[in-house]
Structure 1
């Protein structure tokens, strides 16, 4: 699951600024030196033809490129192009289809879904790096054993440990507990029955409990791509700045929060375009016919600038600096796509519009351990529900977001199994009168007559919310402050950069924040994990501890897909509405625009890699 800011793009993340592509020298800590020989192929592709360079921008800054340490969407977009998981998704298939990536075939699975045996393709190599001491380093089964163990190492402090923990690899969770209790060092050489390399190319995963959907877990390259032990040990705490994988691209330049450059991996194996579209998918069929058999990747380089504000990002695209606009800024959707159709002036330039309802959810998170908005007593639950009732999310979706989102009823994302478009809940209601009545009933009254409510014990009541210094977010902040003032709730915004807010949330040092989560797989279990006490410190951002929800999450995790599991998903939505640790606000439309020369783009649903499947036509 990808974490992102509530602003228009995950992800999700805002150490941003207009990228000045030629400014400033790079320090050693800011960049990885290009792999020897990497620049030449990128600059002289196709027998001397001009390099094919894709340029576009992120609206939120990256945090780094170590798969075990990243959680924000933008960093994961980058890591998914440098690291490779055992499985991936067919670029064109809708409904989605998982296919082997570094694995030779789909896994051999025991009848009880507890043992998965996976054979790797031989002849896959990591990109060259000094850590390999001049030797070409082949990817082997032991690399996936090591990579998964890293998530359990307390010294790594992976924010994604909860997702790995939930798979219950035999012996891994228990060993992590032993290391934590002893405060000792994690021994990567210690044999564990759940993670074994049977031979050089055969990996076997054994689980404590059935995992019918383990394949979806293994298909996330942005997190579960293989890393090499030699590289991690060579760079230590600097692993976020030294990504070395087996993927189609390699990091060749990096100015933090400004510019990220990846070049074609000169040693990438022979891999060819074999995506398959549905028979009734005319666009997909055309792309499959055009690219079938083409060697991947088809680009020489990708340059990603970080541009925080909507206007310069939009104008840079119109000015021709970028061939691709990832998510049209809401401020300019009327100019770009009035009525959901590409503007005539852009269509005349051969541009293409790509619009789909995203597998994401915009939400407000309340810290359940916070003395003001947290807790399980009736008055604390009433406060959170009143905040939800007073929030005019319909106006946020229609006015601030320019109809680029729809109101949400629950936390489950569209296109995932738990999502039910017909489900209705209190989270859809905007009812300030009811919010005021609820506050009055549970003792939140204006005792001193200053227009602001106090807490039931008479002490001042101030809602403190995290925010970021970004123009679009300011519009959301202003609307919410106005909503809260209308029911007598005073708000204090704590403005900080995205990474600072993220750190505060992980440590439980916050009260309220606005975020978005995008699904990284078709299943909805990741959303349920947001309510599990075992995921506090990772995906349980609200830090909620409720035995009934814990039991429900544990039960659905083991069940095969079907009506019974779906019924439990619906029950979880009712519990989530009742206690309101999260307030689901909306689901976004992703509206991208590509210039005529960019061919082959199709927005991924649950994965982040797409660069290798596109080309720049002459």
Structure 2
């Protein structure tokens, strides 16, 4: 599944962490205290309403699913659109269950043919595009939504991921539009993506895909889209998301404020889940909320607050009901020694600490003439730079200990992750780094203290990063590490959105970025090594035929030892060629005020706002 790209500011996910070893997450300071009024009084317009208020640390980019790969936009779309399947919100480990589908899919021909029945009587949110009529969800809406990813005019950043599933005829149809320089023909049938009747979908794949159901469970990307809406709004479609989900867009001030309100036409759907019998937190949440009509809140108000201190203060002052991922500078105040601070516990604040299913990496642009390439000297340069980065110091000083070193580009809690696995990805060895540079001709020829490249030209790195305080702290550490190697570096600061756009276009040299797993399958993290996904998830533009073949082989193998061995081979190649330096996985602390009931950090999915309750504002 596609990794969700996000800034390096720790923003990730998964079950809980730490007490010497990593363990499943628990709420600290009481599982589920009784709801009560919040610390701050509500403005008149929300009095008596159940409103969830919190903040994103980075701005959204769009509300059109076909254009997205960033976490924050996809969190918004996951609550507006609905995929065929979803994840049980309380089940650990993750379990897929029907959402708009009537039942789990049928698969035949060795996982090549998948057939799904939709539940009848599901409707899109009312919108002028429907001319005053209620619009039922039909199978053709999923066909259309998926075909939009293939439309070359839309330039979807996750097309290469969709294509990796090999829906019969879809890539060929896209290629015809490109070669003929004609608009994509949505009316032309695709053998691998068909509406057999009004409520029956069939997918035909070129090769076995045992985990295809996880592709069908991503509401943030692959939710149903009505063609009338796209036709009605045209280029403005990203500001008019219309789905079948529990919320609809009420207000959008780009990069500032997003407000979603309850979809009044949402079908009758009630809180239900299946936590494990020994899952105390999950069982307590279920006991409180089972049978309640969804969504539990009337609206969700999301502010964009990029800097850590204002985000923290907004929570403390009661302006926000919840803070996901307490900034590292304040974790010691919130949960000293892993326990909720007494003054917060006294206020009824609840806390959770989790190890997220994420990985933060340094990305080298393999097409760049300075750091890219597969020849021996260039590989030695990237490995030397990686050995020179002191990740343990970064974890201590920047993350305040709220991370663990990464051994490979794989997310914790996914199937192939092995906490016992060790590789040189985690090594910090400046002496070996300097020796590698010397051996391969990266030496100081003119005595100015800085190394030159083997051809005598200056060795100067341009490192892209963000404008946040955390990013500036990281830049100071990296400059120190690289100066110790005799390597000059200049940092280029910009917004995450600007940097992501530049990276997709190959206009960067080095960048640091984090990725979140979107499913229990570890393969999503390895999209970055797939040569067919350059310009999308493969930000390094790494293209090695053997590695691409290994990635594609993973898709058809069932889970088990044989597939695990292929994962390890990809990780070995990653350590050898070093297009990415896997640095760390984050620990994340979430806090919520006493008025919030039922919050639990999702494992891989984004949709949870409808599953929490907030006491009505006074």
Q: Which runs of 5+ in 1 are unaligned?
A: 12-42
Q: CA offsets per residue over residues 559-614 of structure 1, 9 Å max, x none?
A: 11110010010111111000000000000012100111100000001100111111
Aligned position for 1:499: 497
User: 2:380 aligned with 1:382, yes or no?
Assistant: yes
Query: Following TM superposition, by how much is the alpha carbon of 1:418 offset from its aligned partner in structure 2, in angstroms?
Result: 2.2
**Which of the residues 222, 230, 233 maps onto 2:220?**
222
**Which of the residues 57, 67, 91 maps onto 2:55?**
57
Distance 1:362 1:550 in 2: 21
Distance 2:552 2:96 in 1: 25
User: 2:322 aligned with 1:324, yes or no?
Assistant: yes
- Count of residues paired in the alignment: 585
User: 2:72 aligned with 1:74, yes or no?
Assistant: yes
Query: Following TM superposition, by how much is the alpha carbon of 1:167 offset from its aligned partner in structure 2, in angstroms?
Result: 1.0
**Which of the residues 101, 104, 110 maps onto 2:102?**
104
Is the Cα–Cα contact under 8 Å of residues 409 and 428 in structure 1 kept in the other structure? yes
Aligned position for 2:436: 438
Aligned position for 1:360: 358
Query: Following TM superposition, by how much is the alpha carbon of 1:420 offset from its aligned partner in structure 2, in angstroms?
Result: 1.6
Is the Cα–Cα contact under 8 Å of residues 194 and 203 in structure 2 kept in the other structure? yes
Aligned position for 2:38: none
Q: Which has the higher contact order (CA 8 A, sep 6+)?
A: 2
Aligned position for 1:3: 5
Q: CA offsets per residue over residues 495-550 of structure 1, 9 Å max, x none?
A: 11211111111111111100000000011222222111111111111111111101
Aligned position for 1:394: 392
Distance 1:134 1:329 in 2: 46
Aligned position for 1:479: 477
Alignment of 1:251-266 (within 5 A): 251-266=249-264
Distance 2:232 2:522 in 1: 37
Distance 2:308 2:537 in 1: 29
**Which of the residues 457, 464, 472 maps onto 1:459?**
457
The 3-state SS of whatever aligns with 1:203 is: strand
**Which of the residues 157, 174, 177 maps onto 1:176?**
174
Question: Which shows bigger deviation, 53-62 or 169-178?
Answer: 169-178
**Which of the residues 588, 610, 613 maps onto 2:611?**
613
Aligned position for 2:89: 91
Aligned position for 1:604: 602
Question: Which shows bigger deviation, 74-83 or 123-132?
Answer: 123-132
Aligned position for 1:341: 339
Coordinate RMSD, CA, aligned: 1.4
Aligned position for 1:312: 310
Distance 1:530 1:139 in 2: 34
User: 2:522 aligned with 1:524, yes or no?
Assistant: yes
Aligned position for 2:33: none
Distance 2:287 2:361 in 1: 41
User: 2:132 aligned with 1:134, yes or no?
Assistant: yes
User: 2:548 aligned with 1:546, yes or no?
Assistant: no
Query: Following TM superposition, by how much is the alpha carbon of 1:239 offset from its aligned partner in structure 2, in angstroms?
Result: 1.6
Distance 1:585 1:63 in 2: 26
Query: Following TM superposition, by how much is the alpha carbon of 1:192 offset from its aligned partner in structure 2, in angstroms?
Result: 1.0
Distance 1:226 1:386 in 2: 47
Is the Cα–Cα contact under 8 Å of residues 179 and 186 in structure 1 kept in the other structure? yes
**Which of the residues 402, 405, 414 maps onto 2:403?**
405
The 3-state SS of whatever aligns with 1:446 is: coil
The 3-state SS of whatever aligns with 1:155 is: helix
**Which of the residues 162, 165, 176 maps onto 1:164?**
162
Aligned position for 1:188: 186
Is the Cα–Cα contact under 8 Å of residues 148 and 224 in structure 1 kept in the other structure? yes
Aligned position for 2:290: 292
Query: Following TM superposition, by how much is the alpha carbon of 1:482 offset from its aligned partner in structure 2, in angstroms?
Result: 0.7
The 3-state SS of whatever aligns with 1:321 is: coil
Is the Cα–Cα contact under 8 Å of residues 362 and 581 in structure 2 kept in the other structure? yes
User: 2:580 aligned with 1:578, yes or no?
Assistant: no
Query: Following TM superposition, by how much is the alpha carbon of 1:10 offset from its aligned partner in structure 2, in angstroms?
Result: 5.6
Aligned position for 1:21: none
Is the Cα–Cα contact under 8 Å of residues 10 and 74 in structure 1 kept in the other structure? no
Is the Cα–Cα contact under 8 Å of residues 163 and 526 in structure 1 kept in the other structure? no
The 3-state SS of whatever aligns with 1:82 is: coil
The 3-state SS of whatever aligns with 1:474 is: helix
Query: Following TM superposition, by how much is the alpha carbon of 1:87 offset from its aligned partner in structure 2, in angstroms?
Result: 0.2
Distance 1:96 1:253 in 2: 33
Query: Following TM superposition, by how much is the alpha carbon of 1:240 offset from its aligned partner in structure 2, in angstroms?
Result: 1.4
Aligned position for 2:25: none
Aligned position for 2:35: none
Distance 1:312 1:195 in 2: 47
Distance 2:109 2:291 in 1: 36
Distance 1:66 1:10 in 2: 22
The 3-state SS of whatever aligns with 2:154 is: coil
Q: CA offsets per residue over residues 194-238 of structure 1, 9 Å max, x none?
A: 111111111111111111000011101000001110111122222
Distance 2:352 2:331 in 1: 13
Question: Which shows bigger deviation, 228-237 or 516-525?
Answer: 228-237
Aligned position for 1:22: none
Is the Cα–Cα contact under 8 Å of residues 353 and 588 in structure 2 kept in the other structure? yes
Aligned position for 2:237: 239
Is the Cα–Cα contact under 8 Å of residues 10 and 72 in structure 1 kept in the other structure? no
Q: CA offsets per residue over residues 28-77 of structure 1, 9 Å max, x none?
A: xxxxxxxxxxxxxxx999xxx80011110111010111111111000000
Distance 1:219 1:554 in 2: 21
Q: Which runs of 5+ in 2 are unaligned?
A: 14-43
CA change 1:322–1:44 in 2 (3 A) is: closer
Distance 2:525 2:57 in 1: 25
Aligned position for 2:566: 568
Distance 1:498 1:10 in 2: 16
Q: CA offsets per residue over residues 360-387 of structure 1, 9 Å max, x none?
A: 0011000100000000011100110011
